Amino acid sequence: MSKKSRGMPRRTFLKAAGSAAAVGAVAVPQIIPSGVLATPNRPGANDRITFGHIGVGGMGGHHLRDIVSRVGRGQTHVAAVCDVDDRRLENASRTAGPQADCYRDYRDVLDRDDIDAVVISTPDHWHAVQTVHAAERGKHVYVEKPACCTIEEGIAMIEAANKAGIAVQVGSQGRSQPEAYLAHRYLANGNIGRVHRVDCFHYPSPSGGTAPDREVPAELDWDLWLGPLRDRPFNPGYCHGTFRWMMESGGGQIRDRGAHVMSCAMWWMNADGTGPVEVEATGEAPTRGLWDSAVRINVTYTFKNPDWVLTWNQPGDPPPPEERTGREPGGRISRPGYGAVYQGDEGTFTHWGGDGGTWAERKAREWEPGPNAVDVYRSPGHMEDWFEGIKTGKKTIMNVEAGVDVAILTVLGNLSFLLGRKLQWDQSRREIIGDEQAQRLAGRPQRYPYAL
């Protein structure tokens, strides 16, 4: 990746174009030398981490507000915000404050030596490329889920992150929720016996994207939004948000919420670092419109040594949510339409949600561990866990390998559905076995210069 700057900070450009009132006055950035903290996995004299935010709409805006809220505690400093949509960039500039420079091109953020870490909240098709490029510049990375869109991308992420020695946290934050700890502890202590099956449930994906192509909105840099994807005319069915329903930029509910629910399953089953030996999917594709991810899809993942089965059921058969008073720490179950049922030799366990809202069945919440009970890791919070990884080198709870492997589960499910047949998987090589056509679909061409 070239270190040559691609232009002045976007805020300066917008001011020159007459948009200063919306974006804010130009200010000299408060530069913190990278030597204070930024050497990967080594704490410095100052615990304050300097951030660049890449993608500041949706979850990106949430993360920016969270990082800004920590500034007054001396934990963080926001030096740059970046987005391909000027309206989102203007909002982010107001949130971040006048010290934060604004950019359209993420490479300008990565070129800054004062930035220790980046939060990547761009559409899914950008996650792998931007993570690899950030690793190449020695930046620690928080990247939204799913980690990658292809198997090839995931392998590149792992190699780049490990070579750079950076701390990566993938945004499947369900693992860090308070009731996720209670669920994990309950299962780890054998309260339902040996778990042999986990059935994930979710409602169907939408169909749509029927509007015609049109001119690119003035505020949007369409070339940068597409990035590594093939060139094509602008259509409102592609963005924002609706990229999730396209196979090449999202992949449907299985890649969106599946990256949360199956993340919990892999964590609670102590299955990080493992993978299925066989994947089989059936489903129903949309019959009209641009959106091409499966409306309905059922996937079975068969694991060996230990033997267990994971399924994705869209739609599934969600158990009725428990009645709660709302005064409980986790509050009411506001998203009962997705979650998982764990089948053990001696009973079952259910959780609802699996992302920022993760609710465990009452029996897990009320279970009192005895003197010989096994404890499990209790995350201090998804961001806090990442900060510990940055400062100490500790492996994060949703590290790059774990995040990639969960994303690969969703990729394999979609590939089996598209090809209409079972796939055999070798986790040790992260490779599809004995199916040349499926192996070719493990990667895809990427547009220059937005490539791995």
**Residues 236-256 pLDDT 10s:** 999 999 999 999 999 999 999
**CB distance 24 to 15 below 8 Å:** no
Contacts of 169 by beta carbon, 8 Å cutoff, 6+ apart: 141, 142, 143, 382, 383, 385, 386, 389, 396, 397, 398, 399
- Residue that wins the pLDDT comparison between 21 and 193: 193
pLDDT value at 118 more than 90: yes
At 4 the pLDDT is: 38
pLDDT exceeding 70 applies to what percent of the chain?
A: 90
Helix locations, 195-276, DSSP H: 222-226, 253-256, 258-268
How many beta carbons lie within 10 A of that of residue 49, not counting itself? 24
CA–CA distances in Å: residue 417 to residues 201, 277, 295: 17, 16, 11
At 157 the pLDDT is: 98
Residue written as token pair 């500790």: 394
Task: Residues 10-174: name the CATH superfamily.
Answer: NAD(P)-binding Rossmann-like Domain (3.40.50.720)
CA–CA distances in Å: residue 72 to residues 75, 77, 369, 387: 8, 9, 38, 16
At 46 the pLDDT is: 62
**CB distance 90 to 154 below 8 Å:** no
Q: Which of 34-43, 313-322, 350-359 has the lowest mean pLDDT?
A: 34-43
Could you tell me how far CA 248 lies from the centroid of its own chain?
A: 16
Fold of 175-377+400-440: Dihydrodipicolinate Reductase; domain 2 (3.30.360)
Side-chain half-sphere CA neighbours of 203 within 13 A: 7
Check if 10-174 and 175-377+400-440 are the same fold. no
Per domain, the residue ranges of the chain are 10-174, 175-377+400-440
**Residues 325-376 pLDDT 10s:** 877 788 899 999 999 999 999 999 999 999 999 999 999 999 999 999 999 9
**Residues 377-404 pLDDT 10s:** 999 999 999 999 999 999 999 999 999 9
* Mean of pLDDT values over 275-292: 97
* Mean of pLDDT values over 428-450: 97
pLDDT band at 24 (very low <50, low <70, confident <90, very high): very low
**Residues 144-172 pLDDT 10s:** 999 999 999 999 999 999 999 999 999 99
Tokens of 292: 């091409």
pLDDT value at 32 more than 60: no
At 250 the pLDDT is: 94
At 388 the pLDDT is: 97
Average pLDDT, the chain: 91
pLDDT value at 100 more than 70: yes
Tokens of 211: 């509007």
CA–CA distances in Å: residue 392 to residues 32, 75, 197, 288, 397: 20, 15, 36, 51, 14
Count the helix, strand and coil residues of the chain and give each as a percent rounded to the nearest 5: 35, 20, 50
At 74 the pLDDT is: 93
At 6 the pLDDT is: 58
At 330 the pLDDT is: 84
Q: How far apart are CA 435 and CA 441, in angstroms?
A: 10
List, as one string, the DSSP characters of 276-337. Answer: -SEEEEEEE--SSSS--S-SEEEEEEEETTTTEEEEEEES--PPPPPP--S-STT-S---TT
Side-chain half-sphere CA neighbours of 59 within 13 A: 19
pLDDT band at 10 (very low <50, low <70, confident <90, very high): low
pLDDT value at 33 more than 50: no
pLDDT value at 34 more than 60: no
pLDDT value at 120 more than 80: yes
